[in-house]
A and B are shown apart, each in its own frame.
Chain A
């Protein structure tokens, strides 16, 4: 009850904004061709949901996000652990990483299209690339930050390297890894939508662009709302998973 009340002002503001928009459009202050009233967008959204037409594009985009996120995270964690643990791996990969990392991954999509075409492989690769770097950088930082005392404890008890990496370094770096993955999840959605737009097929990104081009502005906004909800849902799910994984942290205890 208390926490519900806490959110009340924020929700009230949201409702107020939507109502204001509705009023402004009806009063002719905003051109309907650019911004239909929210109630009309709501109708379009309802039709999409009721007909089930939203399922296929939604799942197409989600598939991209998940596949690219999983692949990019796995590779990012592996590379981050290797670079953080073995100085030789760090010296080998650091220049390459520093060169590639600053490139906005969106700018690589056209190049990827040359090699991989406009199908799933290109889109998943784009998403995975965007995910890879923030996960790698955070993992690296987490691995380097593992307390020397803990590591020496493992040494004096005779732990082997594999056991240390699996049961000590990974859990110790997990808060960092998860923080990197949370940032990467947002980027994954951006790259999924963008590669759909650029490839001109499949998923929410393509539909948003396509609706705009064919002047079905109401539908464009309806898809946009769905995309917003997807982003919110993904982030919330991730936060829940993160809190579970880090349940041992004092801050996460009731």
Chain B
């Protein structure tokens, strides 16, 4: 039975956002007997509700509240009002995600030490490492049912993978397989196996892919310790004269302003909304926003070095059939500065349906150069390139006071300039990706620019020292003991791997810490 808590109940932990970070944290705390109120700006949608149609699904699930952009990234030109592709719904972006679930490599926890000084980059070592995280990674893999871990079988390769694998082998790549995916290759955890429907980005109608929406959230509710209030948009975090947070103000389903008291507040609204909320909560005591004595709130925004490569062949591939991202080449993920950049990248299969391909293959493109590419759609194979990008202080989320959302709140402006290291890595990765398809006989290849960001990281980063970042090794803000950050914005650096497994592992770990501190009477 889902709990219901009183607005004046100041014994509850309030969690803002129910995605990979917030959704998992809510369940983990509820399982430990901690009372939780989760506030989620979006509505509730379950597998039956998901729509296997790209734009219709986007309309149903995506966060389309206004945001603005600046900087030299191409997204600011092509999709100026849509810097990110993320979900606004119970379960957050775990409804859209493709399920690629990789652990960081050991050296990636220590980017500053490993890479040294990179001009213009605000690199820092994480205050934690692989040994510290190993048991939490294992718990996360078990929770998500990640294939090729814990004895779980890999997924079968689809057409898109077979082309990718053949090209990879021709180039001599060794670490090539159908990925470590949070998608069931057999029945697991009361969910069925993947039916190869090919709409992983639109929400898995079979429930074969893990999403907080239909696992952690209902399980947390079943404990009787968790209340999820959907369509509740948090506007501000409140604090007392002692500088402790005391609750949050939010707009409910009907647009009425409510106040929920809290013992602890955890922010997990993804890397734009989390810093925006801290900044919008500025007060006379904290004029620069909450937890911002370091001035780092909103800074060091990372989105991964991304790009895609599509290849057209003389015969059909039909890449859309089957799992969207079950295919990986890991050989380039290593740190090897001889390639002309620090850090590494992963290559992963990717397919878009025709409607999204038209929008994303070459945004703004037109004429026969563009349309002949789409004419080859049936004969196309695709891959995504995802690598570590450099944190830069000036890549940041700030409040744009000239633009207000439907509640009259200043929106987030997202500023991003590519770092030279990002550009060098992308160009190298494009060449490798194109060579893979050419090795299988591609008649034409496309180095496709980054899409609106799906991996949004770093805007409340973790640091050993309160000077350098916003939260400590537990995601607890350096400035305010009962205020936590629980999503991808904690990332000190981005590593080359897709981030969600790490977000989930950090949330599981944070739940242990919060519950422990509560029982020790420290919180």
A and B together in one complex? no
B contacts, CB < 8 Å to A: none
